Structure 1
C-alpha cells in the first residue's frame, strides 16, 4: 500500500500553487564548502585504508579473473579445471566495490598482464578494472546478465580461448 505523506511536504510542480523551499544540509555556502572538503578528506582516508580483496592462486598466474560475489565462486571452480589442464589462472576478488582495491590490482599488473573481468551483469565493475589497469595490462570481459547462472565449465571454456591468445 502506498505511503501517504502530509500535504505540506508534497511538491506539486510549476504553476500549481504556493512555492515550497527545499534546502540542503547547510544553508551557508562557506559552511557547505567546508563540509564538502571535510567529506572529501574522509573519503580519501577510506579509499586508502578500507579496500578489501582476496587473491586466489595468483602467485604463478599468467591470466587473472577479476570477479565478485557468485561470479567469484564460479571462477574458483573454473580455475580448478583450468589448472588441471596446465593453465596458470588465478582470481582477484574485490570484497569491497567501494572503495575499489585499484592500487592492489595495479600492483598485481606489474607481474601479470592478462585479465578477464567476469560478472553476472553487463559490466558494472568493468570500468573500475579498466581505470585500475588501463595501459598496464590486457583486459577482456565476459558477462552474463539476466538470470542464467553460468557454470564453471562455461567460464573455463571462455578463459581457455583467451588464454590461448594471450601474449
Structure 2
C-alpha cells in the first residue's frame, strides 16, 4: 500500500526549528535519489543523528544538519557518528560558513524544501555485522513510526520508543 501525502498538511506543517527544516529538505533530496531516509535516529546509546539513510546499494549515509556556527561548534559527538555510516555529510543552509566544516566529509546545501550535494562524502565501509544490525534497527524504527501514524492509540507506542 502506498501512502499519499496530504499536500495541505505537507506544506503547512513546516518545522519551526532550523535544524528540522534542513533535515526535511535533506530527506526530500535523499528520497529523490531512491534512498530510504529516517530522521532523528539513535544508532547507539548516547548518539542521535539528524538523518540516516539506506541507499539502493545498501550503503548507510548519515547527515548532520547544522543551522549556525554555534550549532556546529557545540557538537562534540559528530566524530562518533563516523563508525555508524559508510558516508558522512553535513547539511547547512546558504548562510553557513562552509570553511568550518571538515573537508574529509560530504557537504549538502539545504533548506526546508530541498537540498543538493555540493561535495560527495568519501566511502568508508562499515563492518558487515554492524551494517546488518543497523539496517535491521532502521527498519524496525521506521516500521514502528509508520504503525504509530496509522494507529496512534495502540498500546506500546510510547513517544520514547520511536
| TM-score, normalised relative to structure 2 | 0.35
> Counting helix residues as a fraction of each chain, which structure ranks higher?
1
